[in-house]
Amino acid sequence: MARIASYDLLTGPKFRAIQSGHLTGHTPVAMLDKKLADELGSKSRVVLFSNATAAKQLSHHSDLKPNSYLILQEMLDKGDVIQDRKKNIGLQLKSGGRWWRTVVKATKDGSELYLTTFHKITTKQRDRALRSGTVLRGG
């Protein structure tokens, strides 16, 4: 169910407008499982995508297309999970022959979760991330 909802959100006009830099605000993009939300101290399981993240993505990862994000829910459901800071988790997944990484961060009060980055990584970067934090799943 979460995968279908995420697909609908990521192919919808609001995400596309925020992701392209044409709209400010935030929009839901995926659902984090309860165990991981609890690890982050979050009261919410809904992962939001903001115009601040969109600006960073456009600047640092301009090769990404809106459809690149369609693997996001699969990453949250099945990816390696590494916690390197109290309110952050990194998730990594191999899809289409490439490794991908995303980071989800909880706000200080735990009321919201935000996607803070999403990009391709090398196998070497994946392995380094696995050694740099606490592996909560996979590895």
Both structure tokens of 112: 């919201």
Q: What is the pLDDT of residue 84?
A: 82
Look at residue 85 in the predicted model and tell me its pLDDT: 86
pLDDT at residue 116, rounded to an integer: 96
Name the token pair of 47: 């992962």
Helices assigned H by DSSP within the chain: 2-10, 13-19, 34-39, 51-60, 72-78, 123-132
Structure tokens at 62: 């301009």
Task: Burial-class residue 47 by CB neighbours within 10 Å (0-12, 13-18, 19+).
Answer: buried
What pTM, to 2 d.p., does this model score?
A: 0.92
Amino acid making up residue 96: G
Pairing relationship of beta strands 80-85 and 46-50 according to DSSP bridges? unpaired
pLDDT, residue 58, reads 87
What integer pLDDT is reported at residue 1 of this predicted model? 60
Segments of the chain scoring below 50 in pLDDT: none
**In the chain, where the domains are located:** 2-137
Q: How many angstroms separate the CA atoms of 79 and 82, rounded?
A: 10
**Encoding tokens for residue 9?**
């959100």
69 close to 115: Cβ distance less than 8 angstroms: no
pLDDT attached to residue 14: 95
